[in-house]
């Protein structure tokens, strides 16, 4: 049997941040030499209307950062913010994924976690075992520091486990607290990154064997394949490094052009190997590294503008939540009634690209 997605779950912190609150946060942490009109322009061009931000408080948009005054918090303090925010988000997302999957938490055999915004041991995997009541003997895999495309890597691990054993029930969870890594410096690329990111968690349950209970929903989509590409000559185009004051992103303006050059030939080869073409694809889940990334993919592949609508919608409503974002987009497409193959695409440090091919089922079969 083909491994399939049985349930989705998505979550975010309670602190909603509209553009006004975001600009108040950005103004609070930006050095005096950073032009405040630049912050406004970046916000206007971001494609984001709102996001959820664990670093904010009800009383102050820059709550976490305000407590440190003019000095940026160190990495240890940022890890405390990550741990305190990611645990309840991951629990909420996984609870929804398990509930909608029709499986029992006690029957889950494998757990795959992904985060590039924090580390702890015990970490997300053991927190979820305790909070969800998962079996203490569950097989665990943690995918760390891969960046925005880690959801595809995590689902690929789940697919492999489900292919190896029809009895496997795999819970995948991506949890990211990007607001733990806002930077105080003057580099424009870091302010672009500050402007684009939000916080969130997403989860799916994957299995080759469908639940055998009358009330259990059917599969939401078969996982056909996953594939990867490290783009030549792009090693310095996107970086993600651990520093003394949090994790630091390096982001070249060449990223969209590199994606445009590498994508068409690679995508066509992957689809052709499975008897498909671009015109065969019913839905596109494009990770929104920013509006330019979405537009670059749409343009490079000759897709209609509306092919990027689901990605633009998630960017608008949540911001870029790193690895969790792609599952938000995929959930939106599947729940929105897309029938047929879906290509999910994401990009990360390297510069690397990941592709997931999912065959969404007709609505008559998914309810």
Domains annotated on the chain, with CATH: 4-207 (3.40.47.10), 221-366 (3.40.47.10)
Q: What's the predicted TM-score (pTM) here?
A: 0.94
pLDDT of residue 280: 94
Over residues 104-124, mean pLDDT: 96
Which of the residues 53, 148, 173, 174 is marked catalytic? 148
Q: How confident is the model at residue 217 (pLDDT cuts 50, 70, 90)?
A: low
What pLDDT is attached to residue 151? Answer: 97
Q: Is 227 an active-site residue?
A: no
- Distance between CA atoms of residues 348 and 351, nearest Å: 6
Banded pLDDT at 235 (limits 50, 70, 90): confident
Distance of CA 299 to the CA centre of its chain: 22
For residue 353, give both structure tokens.
Answer: 């690209």
Q: What pLDDT shows up at residue 335? A: 85
Tokens linked to 83: 């741990």
Q: What is the structure's pLDDT at 212? A: 47
**pLDDT of amino acid 361:** 65
Tens-place pLDDT, residues 24-59: 999 999 998 999 999 999 999 999 999 999 999 988
Mean local confidence (pLDDT), 319-330: 97
Which pLDDT score, from 0 to 100, does residue 210 have?
63
CA distances from 179 to 71, 118, 282, 288, 334 (A): 16, 11, 34, 17, 28
pLDDT of res. 92 = 98
pLDDT top residue among 219 and 350: 350
- Phi then psi for residue 13, to 5 deg, are -65, 165
């Amino acid at each position: 049997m083909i491994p399939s997605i049985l349930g989705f779950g998505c979550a975010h912190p309670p602190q909603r941040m509209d553009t006004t609150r975001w600009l108040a946060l950005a103004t609070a942490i930006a050095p005096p030499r950073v032009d405040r009109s630049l912050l406004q322009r970046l916000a206007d061009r971001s494609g984001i209307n709102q996001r959820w931000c664990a670093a904010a408080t009800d009383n102050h948009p820059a709550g976490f950062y305000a407590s440190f005054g003019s000095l940026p918090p160190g990495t240890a303090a940022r890890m405390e913010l990550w741990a305190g925010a990611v645990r309840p988000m991951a629990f909420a997302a996984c609870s929804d994924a398990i509930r909608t999957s029709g499986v029992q938490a006690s029957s889950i055999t494998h757990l795959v976690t992904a985060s590039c915004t924090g580390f702890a041991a015990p970490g997300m995997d053991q927190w979820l075992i305790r909070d969800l009541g998962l079996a203490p003997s569950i097989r665990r895999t943690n995918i760390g520091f891969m960046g925005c495309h880690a959801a595809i890597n995590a689902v690929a691990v789940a697919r492999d486990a489900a292919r190896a054993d029809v009895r496997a029930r795999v819970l995948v969870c991506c949890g990211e607290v990007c607001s733990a890594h806002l930077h105080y410096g003057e580099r424009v690329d870091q302010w672009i990154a500050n402007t684009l990111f939000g916080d969130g968690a997403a989860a799916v349950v994957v299995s080759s064997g469908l639940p055998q209970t009358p009330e259990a929903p059917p599969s939401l989509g078969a996982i056909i394949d996953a594939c990867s590409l490290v783009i030549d000559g792009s090693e310095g185009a996107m970086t993600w490094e651990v520093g003394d004051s949090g994790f630091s992103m390096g982001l070249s303006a060449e990223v969209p052009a590199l994606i445009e050059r590498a994508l068409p030939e690679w995508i066509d080869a992957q689809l052709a190997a499975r008897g498909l073409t671009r015109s065969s694809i019913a839905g596109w889940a494009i990770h929104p590294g920013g509006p330019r990334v979405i537009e670059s993919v749409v343009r490079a592949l000759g897709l209609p503008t509306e092919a990027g609508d689901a990605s633009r919608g998630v960017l608008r409503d949540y911001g870029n939540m790193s690895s969790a974002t792609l599952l938000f987009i995929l959930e939106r497409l599947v729940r929105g009634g897309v029938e047929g193959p879906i290509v999910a695409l994401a990009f990360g440090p390297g510069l690397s690209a990941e592709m997931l091919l999912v065959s969404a089922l007709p609505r008559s079969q998914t309810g």
